[in-house]
Amino acid sequence: MMRREDRAAAEAKLKLRRRELPKGCVDPETVIRSLSSHMKKDAVLTVDVGQNQIWACSYYQVRDGSFLTSGGMGTMGYAVPAAMGAKLAFPKKEVVAVCGDAGFQMTMMELGTMHQYGVPAKVLIFKNNTLGMVYQYQKLRYDRRYFGTSIDDTPDFSAIAKAYEMNYYQLNEEKKTDETVQAFLEDEKSAILVVGTDPEAMA
């Protein structure tokens, strides 16, 4: 039998799923499903820790490739260095790292390592200006008593891309998901794709 607090959490998730997305935001499920359908069959996806990990685990379809995750036992910042390792091990395979905007900042300096040694990097960032998973739990378990989860002062990711000679993509409209994801994946250069994400989105 479902506990009362678990039922309340499930109902809150359903309610949020049914509401209209704020302007400039795209449903993470739509993005991951698009990524899954456009990536090559033997591609490698590395995912960070947090909501992005749950979304990827829920909606990404692994075919003949690999899905690299810390499995909840690692720390934020796993995805980018893991992608670098995967690309060094399998240089001919398509490799994409999926992060949140907070987790990306934990190890974004590794873009410098990739640039220095000519390792192509593809990084997708869900930008919601929060520590998403912690924010979600503070909302559901602690009656919205938020503390230390806001990161409104995020850096200009387009400037970071430019600094490391990476191409920059931004996705803020649901209808442009497929074309943007496809262009990002087909880009022969290293690239960053930033996806506008609702802070209230649930994993």
Q: Which of 2-6, 10-14, 94-98, 184-188 has the lowest mean pLDDT?
A: 10-14
* pLDDT higher than threshold 70 for residue 177: yes
* The domain over range 22-196 is classified in CATH as 3.40.50.970: yes
Name the β-bridge partners of 191.
Answer: 122, 167
For the chain, the domains span: 22-196
Question: What is the tens place of the pLDDT at every residue in 43-58?
Answer: 999 999 989 999 999 9
> Residue 95 is inside which H or E element, if any?
strand 95-100
- pLDDT of 1 over the 80 cut: no
Exposed e or buried b per residue across 148-180, where buried means at least 16 C-beta atoms within 10 angstroms of its C-beta: ebebeebeebeebbeeeebbbbbbeeeeebbeb
Report pLDDT for 199: 85
Which is higher by pLDDT, 10 or 24? 24
Nearest CA-CA partner of 72 in 88, 57, 89: 57
Q: Is the pLDDT of residue 133 over 90?
A: no
**pLDDT tens, 142-166?**
888 888 878 888 899 999 999 999 9
Q: Give the pLDDT band (50/70/90) at residue 200.
A: confident
Strands 122-127 and 44-47: unpaired
